[in-house]
């Protein structure tokens, strides 16, 4: 069983520099912005960040001196039971309903659940069908 909700994700790219992750996270800490989910990676000389925080407005204000252009996107946050095979039915459900997955990342930090962050071609429809299929109506 899975359940899905739509959240906001901050998405930005900048020049890749040593210590950038530390600068971004320390800036958010000083602004008392709680990071819920984070994906950061580099490709050649660019750094890419995808961050879900408790307060997007506060985070954007705090980071604007470091990152002048921050995009706010809707993403689908899906919780799964942490056991083999729980992602496959959700992936099949999205595909069979012609919902494309642009990207996905996730973690299983507590050992009991997996949290996946999805960007899809239709996050609202994806949340509805995942919750309907699992009997979890937007909880």
User: How does the average pLDDT of the chain come out, rounded?
Assistant: 92
pLDDT at 108: 81
23-70 confidence digits (pLDDT tens)? 999 999 999 999 999 999 999 999 999 999 999 999 999 999 999 999
Rounded mean pLDDT of 80-100?
92
Query: If pLDDT is split at 50, 70 and 90, which confidence band does 111 have?
Result: confident
Percent over 70 (pLDDT), the chain:
96
Query: Is 76 within 8 Å of 123 (Cβ atoms)?
Result: yes
Higher pLDDT, 34 or 85: 34
Cβ atoms of 46 and 13 within 8 Å: the answer is: yes
Go through the domains of the chain in sequence order and give each one's CATH number: 2-6+75-134 (3.30.70.260), 8-73 (3.30.2130.10)
> Can you point out the beta strands (E) in the chain?
2-15, 35-43, 46-53, 71-81, 101-107, 113-120
What pLDDT, on a 0 to 100 scale, did the predictor assign at position 79?
A: 92
pLDDT reported for residue 75:
97
CA distance 108 to 115: 6
Instruction: Calculate mean pLDDT across residues 108-127.
Output: 90
């Amino acid at each position: 069983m899975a359940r899905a909700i739509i959240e906001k994700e901050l998405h930005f790219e900048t020049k890749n520099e040593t210590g950038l992750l530390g600068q971004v996270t320390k800036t958010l800490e000083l602004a008392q912005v709680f990071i819920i989910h984070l994906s950061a990676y580099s490709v050649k000389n660019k750094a890419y960040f995808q961050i879900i925080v408790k307060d997007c407005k506060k985070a954007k204000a705090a980071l604007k001196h470091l990152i002048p252009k921050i995009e706010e996107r809707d993403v689908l946050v899906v919780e799964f039971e942490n056991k083999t095979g729980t992602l496959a039915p959700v992936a099949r459900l999205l595909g069979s309903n012609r919902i494309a997955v642009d990207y996905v990342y996730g973690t299983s930090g507590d050992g009991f659940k997996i949290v996946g962050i999805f960007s899809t071609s239709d996050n609202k429809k994806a949340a509805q069908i995942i919750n309907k299929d699992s009997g979890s109506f937007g909880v």
